[in-house]
Structure 1
Amino acid sequence: MSKPINVYAVPEVRKALDEALPEIFSRLGYTQTFKLIDTKLILGYSLVVFAAASFLLDKKLPWEQSKPYQQVLVALYMILSAVQLWFNKFVEKGTVYQGVKKNDTVSVGAKYKKHSHEFHVSITNRKGRSLELDTTFTKFFNEQGYMQSDILFNWFKEQLEALGSKKTE
């Protein structure tokens, strides 16, 4: 059994639910994929490399010699920052789990409402079918703050079955 959390603290609930998803979907036969996380890391590390290169150029060369290189590095940094912003806003969109099962994929996104027990869950599969659900996270925890894994597992299982039977719109 997991350690108890304060169910009135949204960050604690978010962390507990996000950490439970890989195990829940593993029980459903999915293997977690890390494509979004890897892409995010590559973008972030690339930004660090450009910033470090700029720093080293500034440290080693006089300003007039490093100016053309600095301009290129700053331009690349700005472009990559814009790509990272676009990626976070339009591609990742709050995705907390991605998994693969045979020829199916599932992507789960969650948005938590501040100062509320409600959160929004979106589940999407490879066929383009998606479910948008609003629920309360208190039903997945008992009064002492322990997560009820079986309730969460059954809830996701029901949602995936509903998603599988949903017709493409």
Structure 2
Amino acid sequence: MSKPINVYSTPDLRQTLDEALPDVFKRLNYEQSFKLIDTKLIIGYSIAVVAAISFLLDKKLKFEEALLYQKVLVGSYAILSAVFWYFNNYIEKGVKYTGYSKEKAIVVATKMTKYDYNYQVTLRNEAGSVIKTTLPANTVFDEQGYLQTDLLFKWFEEKLDSFYKKAK
């Protein structure tokens, strides 16, 4: 059983529901994929390496000797930063879970607006079909603030069943 949360706090609700997604989809026979996270890490580490090389060149070489290298590194830094920004805002936007089973893949993006207890869920499959649905958070939390994982599992199970029937 999870720890109780303040059910009147939107960030707590969102975080608890987002953290429950891997367990729910594991019960639905999905295996989590970390491709988006790995890509984001590679881009972020590349930015850090470029910055470190720039720092080391600045320390080891004179200004005139390092100028050409610094121009290339600053350009690389700008390009990598732009790619990172694009990745965060357009590719990974709101994605909280990516998983696959034998013949299916699923991407789950979630959102919760301030002062609203509705958990907005967007499901996308490998064919590109999208379904947007809303889970009222008060249906999966009890009065003490405990997440009822069985109710959350059943809700996702129903949504996925209707999603894949609709996609056929």
In the superposition, the TM-score normalised over structure 1's length comes to 0.95
What is the aligned partner in structure 2 of residue 63 from structure 1? 63
Aligned to 1:31: 31
Partners of 1:29 and 1:101 within 8 A in 2: yes
| C-alpha distance after superposition, 1:44-76 (max 9, x if no partner) | 111111111111111111111111111101100
Alignment partner, residue 4 of structure 1: 4
Range that drifts further, 82-91 or 35-44: 82-91
Aligned to 2:116, the other structure's residue is in SS state: coil
Aligned to 1:125: 125
Q: Distance in 1 between matches of 2:72 and 2:135?
A: 48
Counterpart of 2:103 in structure 1 is: 103
Partner AA of 1:68 in structure 2: L
What amino acid does structure 2 have at the position aligned with 1:165? K
The CA deviation at 1:89 is 1.5
Please give the alpha-carbon distance, in whole angstroms, between the structure 1 residues aligned to 2:4 and 2:167. 39
For 1:155, the equivalent position in structure 2 comes to 155
Paired residue for 1:143? 143
Return 5+ residue gaps in structure 1 as ranges.
none
SS where residue 166 of structure 1 aligns?
helix
Tell me the CA shift for residue 87 of structure 1: 1.0
1:22 alignment counterpart: 22
Unpaired segments of 5 or more residues in structure 2? none
Distance in 1, Cα, partners of 2:43 & 2:84: 6
- Counterpart contact for 1:129–1:166, Cα < 8 Å: no
Structure 1 runs of 4+ aligned residues shifted over 3 Å read none
* Residue type at the aligned position of 2:78: M
Identity rate, percent: 50
Cα deviation 1:90-110 (Å, max 9, x = unaligned)? 211210001110021011000
If the length of structure 2 is used for normalisation, what is the TM-score? 0.95
Q: How many residues align?
A: 168
Shift of 1:136: 2.1
| Coordinate RMSD, CA, aligned | 1.2
